[in-house]
């Protein structure tokens, strides 16, 4: 970090010189000689020697502005912000008339230190002198003026930000950063810069699980995840079964840092695999963020074809289990500078990231954007003060409910270095993600409860048919976790070779958090209830939202070409018996007609209305009567 600051400040010093580097603000050869010697020491990072030389230059000529800039840079490297600002203030007092650009240098560092009002005042003074400036200097001045104005405006509209250290179970005496959390908030992962040998550090990943509402003491990921190289900047899928992360300097790597993927099978993480081309390249790829279903990957790269130094890119997983060529997120998000630490929320559309390219409070700010239905991105919005400050803010994640954020910082009292903090997210924040909750469960064979079924799980928006989530239940345990937006209704469909499909309606108010799902083997007499086929009261016209479920039936019959069904319509016991027979028969026929229209041979289907002759439960309550009003399909022939 200090080396980076050194490089940045040296660039500022050198750019402050006129076009011909032999021309200085002083003509005194002794002062110039001392200054140039100081520059050499500064480049070698011999700051004490550089300090003596530059002080000597200023003794010879106390209006030597470039020497003041260098002196300020030395104080910066020594961590003395007050001395740095005081030096630049002295330069303005002694050199401001002769070298008005000194006001910019002071204002720039005041802004960088969070002294926005003071910076704005010096910008205003320099604006009165801009006839003495060159065109590129006027452009820089206008940019700093805008930054000051935006930072001051953000300070007048603070968000309700109260960070809380996550404590010793998560944090250590070393730098802890880049948090990740599963959708059920039961698994928390961080990266830590731990000692490696006697003189160096390396990044490793640690995890903690929640027990009785508290995080357990963090534990190091075992082999094969942890190696002698650097691993970190991880992201975890909603169900905690897929993890992507960055590893640097690995044998067989494509570039300096690559993205790797690993899967949890049963209770073990399998050997990580380099994602390879086209995700990884001979350039730098890092900081991956995985969508809830594990099928969309966001990451940072400095590869060619971007808009700046580091951009955010996106790749999707195809049905053949390959990743598509990465697509740059575009200039709405990416700038000529650096974008980093992307985090895609469980809602699949809200993206958080850090940048120094969009206007904000300081070195790097956290921004948030959302993807429109057409795939374009909303103009990013600063997450607000005091979450963002004049320092660098990055590595934020937000829980599925959108109510709590986690980030890394060393500003709020840490156990040592950088720590992980948590904070509540309320309506004061500019953009909140759509709240996402989850269901979990186990899939098993209906005839043998001990036989688990690794079924394909699809969660589709009933209104649009869009697949919101797709995943496979654990091969060994049959377990799954499925996230879903709280404000929508979904069709949950499970399929697996040799089994009938399973149907469930998923909505926050109608589904249990935990499901036990028995999969019926494909056998004559076995039945699937179509829980997502809908009719209006006393009507047999299929509602549009029924098409998601019925298309799943069509797909099943196209895959299992010998299976034949009887479609049965059922009502409760309310109303006239003959009317209910006719109604249930017409509803069964409506389903029959839809399936046949999709190309399924009519010879494989029959239909019948049963009215209330075959209730699932008694009709004593409104809830039971709702269960009895149903459409189901029974296998009649194989």
pLDDT of 20 over the 80 cut: no
| Stretch 401-430: mean pLDDT | 90
What Rg, from alpha-carbon coordinates, does the chain have?
32
130, HSE (Cβ side, Cα atoms, 13 Å): 16
pLDDT of residue 21: 46
Residue with tokens 């195809």: 318
pLDDT of 511 over the 70 cut: no
Range in 128-137, 138-147, 508-517 the model is least confident about:
508-517
Fold of 166-347+391-424: Neuraminidase (2.120.10)
Region for residue 503 given its phi and psi (left: phi exceeds 0; alpha: psi -120 to 50; beta: otherwise)? beta
SS in 3 state form for 285-311? Answer: EEEEEECCCCCEEEEEECCCCCCCCEE
| Stretch 176-192: mean pLDDT | 94
- Mean pLDDT value across the chain: 91
| Alpha-carbon distance values, 71 to 10, 26, 80 (Å) | 11, 16, 11
- Of these ranges, 254-263, 464-473, 507-516, the one predicted with the greatest mean pLDDT is 254-263
The two tokens of residue 209 are 């699980």
- DSSP single-letter state for residue 603: G
Range in 9-13, 25-29, 69-73 the model is least confident about:
9-13
| Stretch 57-84: mean pLDDT | 92
| Stretch 190-218: mean pLDDT | 92
**For a pLDDT cut of 90, what percent of the chain falls above it?**
72
CATH of the domain spanning 524-638, picked from 1.10.1200.10, 1.10.3720.10, 2.40.50.140, 3.30.1330.60? 3.30.1330.60
Q: Which residues contact 161 (CB under 8 A, 6 or more apart)?
A: 384, 386, 387, 423
- pLDDT, one tens digit per residue, over 480-503 is 998 888 778 888 999 999 999 999
pLDDT of residue 512: 59
CATH placement of domain 435-521: 2.60.40.1120
CATH placement of domain 2-155: 1.25.40.10
- pLDDT, one tens digit per residue, over 524-543 is 999 999 999 999 888 999 99
pLDDT of residue 133: 92
pLDDT of residue 606: 96
pLDDT of residue 6: 47
| Stretch 201-210: mean pLDDT | 94
pLDDT of residue 16: 46
The two tokens of residue 353 are 């990231």
Angle at 221 between CA 220 and CA 225, to 5 degrees: 140
- pLDDT, one tens digit per residue, over 271-326 is 999 999 999 999 999 999 999 888 899 999 999 999 999 999 999 999 888 999 99
Q: Is 138 helix (H, G, I), strand (E, B) or coil?
A: helix
pLDDT of 9 over the 80 cut: no
The two tokens of residue 3 are 């080396």
Q: Is 130 helix (H, G, I), strand (E, B) or coil?
A: helix
pLDDT of residue 380: 97
- pLDDT, one tens digit per residue, over 348-369 is 999 999 999 999 998 899 999 9
pLDDT of residue 18: 43
pLDDT of residue 221: 94
- pLDDT, one tens digit per residue, over 74-115 is 999 988 999 999 999 998 998 888 889 989 999 999 999 999
Range in 385-399, 462-476, 564-578 the model is least confident about:
462-476
Closest alpha carbon to 346 in 409, 290, 305 = 290
Structural domain boundaries in the chain: 2-155, 166-347+391-424, 435-521, 524-638
pLDDT of residue 145: 96
Which position has the higher pLDDT, 449 or 14?
A: 449
Q: How many residues does the chain have?
A: 638
Band the pLDDT of 397: cuts 50, 70, 90: very high
């Amino acid at each position: 970090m200090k080396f980076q600051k050194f490089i940045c400040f040296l660039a500022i010093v050198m750019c402050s010189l006129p076009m011909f580097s032999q021309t200085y603000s002083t003509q005194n050869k002794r002062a110039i000689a001392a200054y140039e010697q100081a520059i050499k020491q500064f480049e070698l990072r011999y700051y004490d020697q550089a300090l003596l030389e530059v002080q000597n230059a200023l003794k010879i000529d106390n209006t030597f502005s470039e020497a003041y800039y260098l002196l300020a840079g030395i104080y910066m490297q020594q961590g003395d912000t007050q001395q740095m600002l005081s030096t630049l203030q002295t330069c303005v007092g002694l050199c401001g008339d002769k070298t008005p650009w000194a006001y910019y240098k002071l204002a720039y560092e005041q802004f960088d230190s969070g002294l926005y009002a003071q910076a704005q005042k010096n910008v205003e003074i320099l604006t009165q002198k801009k006839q003495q400036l060159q065109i590129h200097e006027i452009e820089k001045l206008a940019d700093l003026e805008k930054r000051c104005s935006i930072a001051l405006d953000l300070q007048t509209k603070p968000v309700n930000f109260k960070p809380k250290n996550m404590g010793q179970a998560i944090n250590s005496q070393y730098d802890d950063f880049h948090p990740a959390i599963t959708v059920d908030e039961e698994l928390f992962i961080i990266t830590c810069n731990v000692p490696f040998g006697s003189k160096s550090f390396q990044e490793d990943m640690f995890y903690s699980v929640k027990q009785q509402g508290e995080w357990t003491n963090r534990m190091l990921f075992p082999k094969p995840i942890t190696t002698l190289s650097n691993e970190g900047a991880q992201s975890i899928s909603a169900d905690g079964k897929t993890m992507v992360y960055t590893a640097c300097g690995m044998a067989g790597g494509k570039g300096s840092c690559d993205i790797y993927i690993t899967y949890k099978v049963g209770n073990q993480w399998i050997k990580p695999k380099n994602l390879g081309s086209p995700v990884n390249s001979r350039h730098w790829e890092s900081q991956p963020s995985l969508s809830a279903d594990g099928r969309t990957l966001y990451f940072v790269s400095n590869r060619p074809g971007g808009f700046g130094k580091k951009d955010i890119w996106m790749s999707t997983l195809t049905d053949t289990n390959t990743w598509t060529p990465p697509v740059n997120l575009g200039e709405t998000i990416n700038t000529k500078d650096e974008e980093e630490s992307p985090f895609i929320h469980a809602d699949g559309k809200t993206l958080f990231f850090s940048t120094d390219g969009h206007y904000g409070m300081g070195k790097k700010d956290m921004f948030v954007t959302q993807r429109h239905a057409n795939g374009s991105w909303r103009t990013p919005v600063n997450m607000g003060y005091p979450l963002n400050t004049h320092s660098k803010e990055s590595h934020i994640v937000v829980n599925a409910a959108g109510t709590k954020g986690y980030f890394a910082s060393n500003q709020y009292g840490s156990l040592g270095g950088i720590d992980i903090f948590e904070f509540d997210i309320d309506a004061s924040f500019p953009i909140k993600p759509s709240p996402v909750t989850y269901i979990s469960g186990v899939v098993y064979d209906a005839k043998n409860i001990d036989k688990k079924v690794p079924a394909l799980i699809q969660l589709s928006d009933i209104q649009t048919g869009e697949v919101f989530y797709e995943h496979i239940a654990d091969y060994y345990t049959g377990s799954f976790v499925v996230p879903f937006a709280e404000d929508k209704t979904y069709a949950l469909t499970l399929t697996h070779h040799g089994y009938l499909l399973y149907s469930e309606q998923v909505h926050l108010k109608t589904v249990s958090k935990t499901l036990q799902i028995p999969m019926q083997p494909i056998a004559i007499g076995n039945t699937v209830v179509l829980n997502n086929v809908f009719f209006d009261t006393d009507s047999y016209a299929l509602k549009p939202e029924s098409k998601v479920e019925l298309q799943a039936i069509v797909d099943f019959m196209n895959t299992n070409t010998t299976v034949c069904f009887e479609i049965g319509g059922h009502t409760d016991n309310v109303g006239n018996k003959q009317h209910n027979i006719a109604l249930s028969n017409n509803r069964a026929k409506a389903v029959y007609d839809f399936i046949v229209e999709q190309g399924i041979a009519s010879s494989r289907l029959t239909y019948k209305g049963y009215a209330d002759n075959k209730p699932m439960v008694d009709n004593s309550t409104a809830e039971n009567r709702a269960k009895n009003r149903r459409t189901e399909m029974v296998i009649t022939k194989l």
